Amino acid sequence: MNPTSHAPRPTSRVWKFGDDVNTDDVLPGKYAPFMVGEDVFQNYAFAHLRPEFARAFRPGDLIVAGRNLGLGSSREYAPEALKKLGVRAIVARSYARIFYRNLVNLGIVPFISEEVVNAAEDGDEVRYDIRTGTLELRGRTYRLEPPPPFLLLALEEGSVLEYFKKHGDFPGVE
């Protein structure tokens, strides 16, 4: 399904994490692509925090996290593992700056919402629409700031990087 379509999204599950989850928590260094292989490194996402994560995650499920998600090194392969598993969006209280940028570059929408983080519980069922920034949780609709137009354009190609490869420039550049 196109991540920017207006079609009703299937129900997604929440995978909730706390504060200060670093890139080594997202993908431990010993499972880097050059250590285990480009075709399988995503199978080790959150291997130490949630060993069942990569096996049980369904494309479109939603990661919800606390403050400072992705702190630590600037390893792009940590968010890339999430992308390969089918993560389309994350809601957190805040992100480490480089991790945030890597998510955007890879086409994972990083929403910020204290309210959603406070309300969501691990395993909750949610529906979300990336284009409009709406999230439905336990009968309540939350309004998230939708992605800027340049990111929506990039998402149509899969990511900012894929957009650049196809068009030879970044989305929104005139």
User: Does position 6 have pLDDT exceeding 60, yes or no?
Assistant: no
Q: What are the strands, taking DSSP E only, across 35-129?
A: 62-65, 89-92, 109-112, 125-129
pLDDT band at 74 (very low <50, low <70, confident <90, very high): confident
Q: What is the pTM of this model?
A: 0.90
* Whether pLDDT at 4 is above 70: no
pLDDT at 173: 72
Q: Please, how many CA atoms are within 13 Å of residue 144, restricted to the half-sphere of its CB?
A: 29
Mean pLDDT estimate for the chain: 91
Measured in degrees and rounded to the nearest 5, phi and psi for residue 95 equal -130, 150
Tell me the residue length of the chain. Answer: 174
Q: What is the mean pLDDT of residues 136-142?
A: 97
CA of residue 81 relative to chain centroid, distance? 10
Q: Is 146 exposed, middle or buried (0-12, 13-18, 19+ CB in 10 A)?
A: middle
Residue 148 has pLDDT above 70, yes or no: yes
Instruction: Supply the pLDDT for residue 174.
Output: 65
* Cβ–Cβ < 8 Å for 15, 56: no
